[in-house]
């Protein structure tokens, strides 16, 4: 276990490309929504990842200056910039990975679900184009509400002609990152040493951190667990409130999305790190989409590890999450009917 943890950490931190690695084509990664609050830092982090040799930026507004800026960074990565609805197809075509972050963030007092009407059509459009022009790409959806728009993306891909459930992921890595950080701080250990599955979805009580499976074992009583669970579930709200009208989490979300993109690339190379949780089509529960630990491979999900062992309290939390996630998925499907 501990060597797997260090392997993951090493992979994640292996950013410096050596000159010998400069010429090898690794992966073309497209960021849809590249000029946004998450898109910019995500693009920067991807630019710095040696596995990305072609970084494609797309947004509705001009991306050229931003692409020019990134292209001065001394990495063996070509930057390509596209903008506007018409150029979304060119951005997506030929990509190995498409990370969708386009859409509106929420404001204080709004739930993620409040964004559905605005963001669902954007996700549907991008997912449909992936299906038509980059059918074998891995798709990561960061745009909220993740719980519902992943179902929108799946339906849009079916309509467009090609849908592979093993290649479509709702990015829930920020919930895992928050869990590792809050637990690490509580236990006075480096957050990078904490491994904990965070299952379910990406909103409020659909986020279920499995403390009973935490490694190293969590030190603290039930009250303490309840308070950290609550903080993980409301981490997004905490940031929205602190930003006071200036949007939601961007930097931590970009960090988490870059970590997940790195995991996808390691999978594509056939060198997967330890399992990462993501919100995918699943039969682990009655909810059609559900986040559980996944081993990633060249074809996307290589193995869905399903539900971890749960204690009684976690079983109760699971029920609540599944009920809510069934409704979210149904909302996404209905939108596409
Ligand atoms: C988060 O978890 O921080 C993101 O989903 C953004 C949000 O609206 O909370």
Question: What is the per-residue pLDDT across 141-169, written as a single tens digit (0 to 9) for each?
Answer: 999 999 999 999 999 999 999 999 999 99
Residue pair 156/131 in contact (Cβ under 8 Å)? The answer is yes
Asked whether the predicted pLDDT for residue 15 surpasses 60, the reply is: no
Q: Is 143 in the pocket of ligand 1 (CB under 6 A)?
A: no
Q: pTM, whole model, 2 decimals? A: 0.94
Give residue 1's pLDDT: 45
Beta bridge partners of 304: 294
Answer whether 199 contacts ligand 1 (Cβ < 6 A). no
Contacts of 333 (CB under 8 A, 6+ apart): 151, 155
SS3 102: coil
What pLDDT score does 153 carry?
Answer: 98
Q: Provide the b/e sequence for 237-256 (b: ≥16 CB within 10 Å).
A: bebbeebeeebbbbebbbbb
ipTM of the complex: 0.99
236 lines ligand 1 (CB under 6 A): yes
Check if the beta carbon of residue 139 is closer than 8 Å to that of residue 169: yes
Catalytic residues: 202
Classify residue 73 as exposed, middle or buried by CB count within 10 Å of its CB (0-12, 13-18, 19+). exposed
Give the C-alpha separation, 167 to 44, whole Å. Answer: 24
CA 249 – ligand 1 centroid, Å: 6
At 206-223, the pLDDT tens digits run 999 999 999 999 999 999
Decide if pLDDT at 294 tops 80: yes
The DSSP symbol for 8 reads: H
Please tell me if the CB atom of residue 207 comes closer than 6 angstroms to any atom of ligand 1.
Answer: no
Give the number of other CB atoms < 10 A from CB of residue 319.
11
Give residue 234 CA to ligand 1 midpoint distance, Å: 9
């Amino acid at each position: 276990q501990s060597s797997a943890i260090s392997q993951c950490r090493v992979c994640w931190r292996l950013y410096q490309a050596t000159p010998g690695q400069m010429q090898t084509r690794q992966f073309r990664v497209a960021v849809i929504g590249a000029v946004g609050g998450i898109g910019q830092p995500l693009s920067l982090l991807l630019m710095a990842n040696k596995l990305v040799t072609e970084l494609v930026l797309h947004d509705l507004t001009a991306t050229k200056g931003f692409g020019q800026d990134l292209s001065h960074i001394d990495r063996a990565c070509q930057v390509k910039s596209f903008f506007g609805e018409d150029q979304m197809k060119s951005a997506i075509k030929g990509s190995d990975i498409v990370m969708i972050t386009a859409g509106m963030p929420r404001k204080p007092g709004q739930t993620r679900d409040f964004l559905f009407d605005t963001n669902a059509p954007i996700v549907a459009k991008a997912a449909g184009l992936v299906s038509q022009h980059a059918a074998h790409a891995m798709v990561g959806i960061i745009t909220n509400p993740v719980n519902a728009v992943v179902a929108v993306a799946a339906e849009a891909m079916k309509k467009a002609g090609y849908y592979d459930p093993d290649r479509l992921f709702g990015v829930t890595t920020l919930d895992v990152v928050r869990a590792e950080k809050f637990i690490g701080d509580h236990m006075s250990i480096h957050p990078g040493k904490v491994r904990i599955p965070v299952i379910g979805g990406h909103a409020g009580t659909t986020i279920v951190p499995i403390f009973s499976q935490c490694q190293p074992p969590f030190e603290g009583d039930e009250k303490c667990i309840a308070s950290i669970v609550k903080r993980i579930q409301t981490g997004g709200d905490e940031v929205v409130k602190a930003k006071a009208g200036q949007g939601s989490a961007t930097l931590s979300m970009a960090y988490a999305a870059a970590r997940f993109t790195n995991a996808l690339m390691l999978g594509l190379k056939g060198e997967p790190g330890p399992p990462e949780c993501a919100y995918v089509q699943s039969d682990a529960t009655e909810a059609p989409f559900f986040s559980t630990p996944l081993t990633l491979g060249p074809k996307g999900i290589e193995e869905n590890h399903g539900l971890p062992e749960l204690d009684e309290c976690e079983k109760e939390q699971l029920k609540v999450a599944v009920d809510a996630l069934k409704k979210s998925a149904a909302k996404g499907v209905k939108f596409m009917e």
